[in-house]
């Protein structure tokens, strides 16, 4: 720890946050509530929208929204009271009581964005580099600024992480997640009945698909206004990843191909595969989806999450496989625990060291858990 950080008070900090998505907003709201002078820089010039659609509304998310008086989480969540596994023919194989709460990425994002002051949220502001020793941040337009603390919440393809830990590379698994969101009004009564109030799965040979209801595009949770969110984990089974991740422009994508940009042969083949191997209600759901997309499944970890005055938070630090349903919840917890560490310790250095130890350990355990869950559920170890 540098002498400056060891002696520097942890209260009333100037904070620059790189990334105005979930992690950046959780952090901005938490630190603003503690009296810090927070500015958020988001590279996107417009409102952010999620490709993923649905998320599990873990307790840490719901508590954050409540404690900061942002929204009653009941108004933007759907619930399931049963976990159900289907057979390939569509019959119920197992059914157990299980209380789960779901929401959508965009429903939560809109609430967080509305809760953070507009005059300190700068859209179209791209961070291109930083100097950890003095908190200097460089922007694409040539401007520079310095802060007591810099929080890199710039996602799985973090610019800050690439600069601070250039040797860190994602470790790709041998499977992908096909995803889609379908308006409730577009699906049949049989499909609605199969998923309403249920968290429904089908697990086949080296494949797993699940679906659940989430709020509609406008945030409504009323029956008829909702959406069905599905995620299909499917092994590559000899198919070239390069082919799947080459989009309609011919560009090769490392992590995902967004809705509407899957090459036609790739999309057609996956829809055919759905008809061949999935239970009818899941096959219908995939067939009804206007613009499915695909994401690579990978693990990513770093040796520590603070370097001098820079913190890496959320997916910028660790990426666990989505089986943990913890991506958004981890970002919320990272932010809450950072605020708590700053409150608890009198020096900035001690606060960051404490936060680093706890959250690095948590990130390591979460990545390991995600890998174990994925390998078991898709029988990748056999």
Task: Please check whether residue 178 is in contact with residue 270, taking contact to mean a CB–CB distance below 8 angstroms.
Answer: yes
CA-closest candidate to residue 180, choices 85, 276, 254, 283:
283
CA-closest candidate to residue 187, choices 285, 325, 80:
285
Task: Please check whether residue 226 is in contact with residue 19, taking contact to mean a CB–CB distance below 8 angstroms.
Answer: no
What's the pLDDT at 322? 93
Domains recognised in the chain with CATH numbers: 12-45+122-168+299-376 (3.50.50.60), 71-102+170-296 (3.30.9.60)
The position carrying tokens 């569509």 is 90
DSSP letter, residue 100: E
| Cross-strand partners of 214 | 227
Tokens read off for 82: 């049963």
Most distant CA pair in the chain: distance in Å? 66
**Cβ neighbours for 302, distance < 8 A, ≥ 6 positions apart:** 161, 165, 168, 312, 317, 318, 360, 363
Pairing state between β 121-123 and 207-214: unpaired
Q: How many helices (H) and strands (E) does the chain have?
A: 11, 18
Query: pLDDT digit of tens for each residue in the chain (382 aa)?
Result: 455 787 788 889 999 999 999 999 999 999 999 999 999 999 998 777 665 589 999 999 999 999 999 999 999 999 999 999 999 999 999 999 999 999 999 999 999 999 999 999 999 999 999 999 999 999 999 999 999 999 999 999 999 999 999 999 999 998 999 999 999 999 999 999 999 999 999 999 999 999 999 999 989 999 999 999 999 999 987 678 899 999 999 999 989 999 999 999 999 999 999 999 999 999 999 999 999 999 999 999 999 999 999 999 999 999 999 999 999 999 999 999 999 999 999 999 999 999 999 999 999 999 999 999 998 888 754 3
Residues 298-326 as b or e (16 or more Cβ within 10 Å = b) = bbbbbeebbbbbbbbbbbbbbbbbbbbbb
Distances (CA, A) of 74 to 78, 81, 107: 8, 15, 12
């Amino acid at each position: 720890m540098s002498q400056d950080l060891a002696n520097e008070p942890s209260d009333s900090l100037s904070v620059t946050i790189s990334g105005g998505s979930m992690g950046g907003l959780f952090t901005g709201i938490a630190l603003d509530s503690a009296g810090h002078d927070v500015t958020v820089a988001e590279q996107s010039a417009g409102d952010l929208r999620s490709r993923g659609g649905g998320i599990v509304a873990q307790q840490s998310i719901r508590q954050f929204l409540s404690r900061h008086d942002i929204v009653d989480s009941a108004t933007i969540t759907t619930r399931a009271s049963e976990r159900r596994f289907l057979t390939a023919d569509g019959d119920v194989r197992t059914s157990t009581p299980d209380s789960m709460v779901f929401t959508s990425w965009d429903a939560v994002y809109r609430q967080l964005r509305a809760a953070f002051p507009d005059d300190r949220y700068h859209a179209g502001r791209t961070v291109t580099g930083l100097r950890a020793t003095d908190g200097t941040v460089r922007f694409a337009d040539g401007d520079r600024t310095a802060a007591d603390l810099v929080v890199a919440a710039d996602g799985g393809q973090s610019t800050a992480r690439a600069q601070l830990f250039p040797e860190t590379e994602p470790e790709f698994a041998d499977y992908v997640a096909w995803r889609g969101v379908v308006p409730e009004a577009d699906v049949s009564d049989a499909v609605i009945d199969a998923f309403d109030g249920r968290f429904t799965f089908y697990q086949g040979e080296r494949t797993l698909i699940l679906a659940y209801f989430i709020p509609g595009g406008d945030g409504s949770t009323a029956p008829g206004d909702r959406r069905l969110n599905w995620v299909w984990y499917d092994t590559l089974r000899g198919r070239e990843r390069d082919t799947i991740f080459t989009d309609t422009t011919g560009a090769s994508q490392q992590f995902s191909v967004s809705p509407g940009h899957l090459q036609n042969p790739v999309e057609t083949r996956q829809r055919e595969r759905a008809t061949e191997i999935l239970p009818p209600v899941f096959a219908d759901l995939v067939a009804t989806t206007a613009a499915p997309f695909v994401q690579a499944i990978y693990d990513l970890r770093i040796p520590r999450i603070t370097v001098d005055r820079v913190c890496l938070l959320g997916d910028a630090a660790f990426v666990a496989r989505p089986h943990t349903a913890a991506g958004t919840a981890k970002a919320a917890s990272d932010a809450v625990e950072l605020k708590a560490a700053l409150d608890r310790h009198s020096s900035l250095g001690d606060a960051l060291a404490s936060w680093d130890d706890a959250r690095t350990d948590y990130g390591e355990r979460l990545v390991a858990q995600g890998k174990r869950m994925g390998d078991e559920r898709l029988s990748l170890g056999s």
